[in-house]
Amino acid sequence: MTRFAYFCGHEQWQPETLVDHARLAEDAGFDLALVSDHFLPWVDDVSASGFAFATIGAMTQVTNQLGFATSVTTPLWRYHPALVAQAAATIDRLSGGRFALGVGTGEKINESPLGYPFPAYAERAARMEEALQIMRRLLDGEKLSFQGRYYTTTATKLYSPPVGDVPIWLAAGGPKSAALAARRAQGLITSVKNPATTTKKVLVPARQAAAAEGLPEPTIVATRWVIFAADKEEAWTSLAPWRGLRAPGRLDATDPEVLRTRADDLDRDEILADYTIASSPDQIIDAYLPLITELSADIVGLQMTSTDQPALIRTLGREVLPVLQTSGRPQP
């Protein structure tokens, strides 16, 4: 049975606003909220950058059934993996067992401004291999003394343990991270532009790696960016906090001001062409349906922005979720 997640972007909205969005998402019928974790946003003019774990803690107190997952946090530099495990366990307790820990290998804009290096993928993946072991073992209740190449713990234990099993989901955009997710995590989070490409580069390698290890297939969390707007002008206004995502040199940037300047030097149509723009509920359905019918995702994440987000959330609840919930999955 496919579940549906609403994306709460700290790079666009202040934390108190995201708490309201989570409450609205639960009322709309979403199963969980995916909450981003950034130290710096993508632009410096219309943006925000609240602390994700504090925001989720507040969200747990205004909801009753909505699940939560970080999408994603990086347990490699500014957070030690044991600290992330502690945060995850605390959120799980506050929510009554409604939390999943989404992690990823990070972005330079969140680590380098604090003085940390940001090495190439090979080292980040090696660090993640250790981090996943530390977090899993602590969340499972172990008193852990760990000596790795990158991380050390000595008689470390979570004395406020989670109330249930906290799954760990690893962000994956290619075969190496997908295989690591299958081996060391319980699921993967992947952002989809082309379903066929995602199947080839992410899902197939993950399933092959799981089979080779004799492990169950990982939970698949598939997200997709969609802008809800009547026309290109409205779409650009909606996208403003995210326009740095498509700026040249994004992966090497450490200052949102630089990304904003570079993005604004580009042709707007060039940036908008990288996104799906929907102007009706039917078009939103068309954008997300392939994640169910083609990818067979366990969780579909609606990562959307608009000029009136509360109205959009209500529209999703009335006109989009009821259709997606009965599409491409077994009927009860």
Mean pLDDT across 218-231: 98
Mean per-residue pLDDT of the chain:
96
Global confidence as pTM: 0.96
* Residues belonging to the chain: 332
Nearest alpha-carbon partner for 79 in 58, 60, 52: 52
Q: Tens digit of pLDDT for each residue in 298-330?
A: 999 999 999 999 999 999 999 999 999 998 644
Mean pLDDT across 108-130: 97
Which tokens in the block code for residue 113? 């401004």
Catalytic site residues?
38, 107
For residue 160, the model assigns a pLDDT of 98
Q: Tens digit of pLDDT for each residue in 178-189?
A: 999 999 999 999
Q: Tens digit of pLDDT for each residue in 150-205?
A: 999 999 999 999 999 999 999 999 999 999 999 999 999 999 999 999 999 999 99
For residue 328, the model assigns a pLDDT of 60
Instruction: Enumerate domains of the chain plus CATH numbers.
Output: 3-324 (3.20.20.30)
Whole-number Cα distances in Å, 161 to 7, 59, 88: 26, 20, 9
For residue 327, the model assigns a pLDDT of 87
Which tokens in the block code for residue 68? 């939560």
CB–CB of 185/216 below 8 Å? no
57 pLDDT above the threshold of 90? yes
